[in-house]
């Protein structure tokens, strides 16, 4: 009896695992008409998303307070998100909100306080006023939803709630 080469065995088991993963994915998530949206969103690159900030919100590179960053870190971890970058801008006195999701209907409010989502991108704001935070400065985290969590979130529902993301 001749023994198979190790690289053939690895290739065989890799293909078997990939086929099993594809079967589980497509059986677990009723795709219907949105299969391309689902596959592109889960397997494709996250791309770049620009949150709808107010026009008078001037981007700044100043470091926010440690308490504010700690609050955002805790919120990001609690939600199971992956940190991407920090958003920070200064607002002139008397101006309104910095984040204006109504300007871009693709940014949907989350069921969780103080978060807005566009595909895998999530903007996380501090859930409450943080002591020591500088007034007039907007700080938030731009995060990504992990692929598997995103797949479970949109699986079979992309024709309804997520219509704006197509």
Domain assignments of the chain as residue spans, ordered by start? 32-165
Please state whether 78 falls in left (phi above 0), alpha (psi between -120 and 50) or beta. alpha
Answer whether residue 107 shows pLDDT above 90: no
State residue 81's pLDDT score.
94
61, 88 contact by CB (below 8 A): yes
Calpha distance 133→138 (Å, rounded): 9
**Number of C-beta neighbours around residue 120 at 10 A:** 25
Mean pLDDT check: name the lowest of 83-97, 111-125, 143-157: 143-157
More confident residue, 92 or 25: 92
Q: How confident is the model at residue 120 (pLDDT cuts 50, 70, 90)?
A: confident
Residue pair 116/107 in contact by the 8 Å Cβ criterion: yes
Residue 165 pLDDT class (50, 70, 90 cuts) = low
Q: What is the pLDDT confidence band of residue 77, given thresholds at 50, 70 and 90?
A: very high
Size of the chain in residues: 166
Percent of the chain with pLDDT over 90: 9
Give residue-wise pLDDT tens across range 15-70. 777 777 666 555 545 555 555 555 555 655 666 777 888 888 888 888 888 888 99
Predicted pLDDT at 78: 92
What confidence score (pLDDT) does residue 161 get? Answer: 56
């Amino acid at each position: 009896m001749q023994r198979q080469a190790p690289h053939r065995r690895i290739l065989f088991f890799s293909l078997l695992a990939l086929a099993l993963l594809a079967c589980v994915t497509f059986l677990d998530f009723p795709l219907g008409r949105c299969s391309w949206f689902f596959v592109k969103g889960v397997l494709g690159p996250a791309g770049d998303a620009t949150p709808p900030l107010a026009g008078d919100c001037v981007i700044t590179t100043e470091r926010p307070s440690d308490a504010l960053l700690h609050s955002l870190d805790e919120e990001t971890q609690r939600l199971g998100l992956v940190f991407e970058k920090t958003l920070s801008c200064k607002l002139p006195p008397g101006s309104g909100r910095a984040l204006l999701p109504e300007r871009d209907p693709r940014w949907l409010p989350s069921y969780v306080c103080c978060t807005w989502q566009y595909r895998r991108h999530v903007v996380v704001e501090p859930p409450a006023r943080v002591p020591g935070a500088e007034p007039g400065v907007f700080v938030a985290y731009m995060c990504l939803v992990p692929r598997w969590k995103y797949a479970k979130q949109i699986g079979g529902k992309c024709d309804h709630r997520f219509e704006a993301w197509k």
